[in-house]
Amino acid sequence: MVRLKYEPEHNVKNLKGPCVIVIHAEWCGHCKDFMPVYNNEIVKSKNFDEELKDLLTLSSVEEKEYSNSKDLFGEIDGYPTIRYITFDEDGKPLKDNNNNNNNNGTIMKIDAVNIPRNSEAVTNWINSVVKSDIKKKHKHRHKNKHGMRGGSKKTKRVVKRTRKAKKTKKSKRTKRVVKRVKRS
């Protein structure tokens, strides 16, 4: 088990990669109860899965900052909201570009709904739900340009099509040659 990277509240516009963010308000009673648990137990916890060590960042956003940055964090229903969002290299949240989905162009996010706001429940949520999503995204990033996974990094697949000299009355015949060559 490990401790995760933490980005202080004043750095939220510089977030990159997968992040779990707590959106909270000073005046909110539930936030007053939860934020000490988050800052003192969850952020400082070493109970996170080893696979999340260099992939996931924890952060928080106060309501005043959130009001100015709703485009970064998406709409929320109440405080505190625990949200998982992945940011690109420019600090912009990844959007859902699935054409089959009615909420096309919305921020891709997972909210921790219906879990108790205690350190064990939130840590378990991160270790299961968030880790599962990160592994799924990480797996898709490692496809090669042909959309295939696996294979040695030192070889690439070369597909060459050649025509046979003979033609038949019915069709032209083609022969497909596949070979592996070493990359330089």
**pLDDT (tens digit per residue) in 82-104:** 999 999 998 899 987 764 545 55
**Dist. CA 2–CA 54, nearest whole Å:** 10
Residue 173 domain-assigned (yes or no)? no
Residue 157 domain-assigned (yes or no)? no
Residue 42 domain-assigned (yes or no)? yes
Q: What integer pLDDT is reported at residue 180 of this predicted model?
A: 56
Q: What is the CATH number of the domain that holds 47?
A: 3.40.30.10
> 57-62 and 17-24 as β-strands: parallel, antiparallel, unpaired?
parallel
> 155-163 and 174-182 as β-strands: parallel, antiparallel, unpaired?
antiparallel
**Dist. CA 73–CA 108, nearest whole Å:** 10
Tens digits of residue pLDDT in 45-68: 999 999 999 999 999 999 988 888
Q: What integer pLDDT is reported at residue 29 of this predicted model?
A: 96
Spatial neighbors of 42 by CB under 8 A, at least 6 apart, are 58, 119, 122, 123
Residue 31 domain-assigned (yes or no)? yes
Residue 90 domain-assigned (yes or no)? yes
Give the range of the structural domain holding residue 103, as residue numbers without chain letter. 5-141
Q: How many domains does the chain have?
A: 1
Question: Is the pLDDT at 148 greater than 90, yes or no?
Answer: no
pTM value?
A: 0.70
Q: How confident is the model at residue 153 (pLDDT cuts 50, 70, 90)?
A: very low
SS3 at position 118: coil
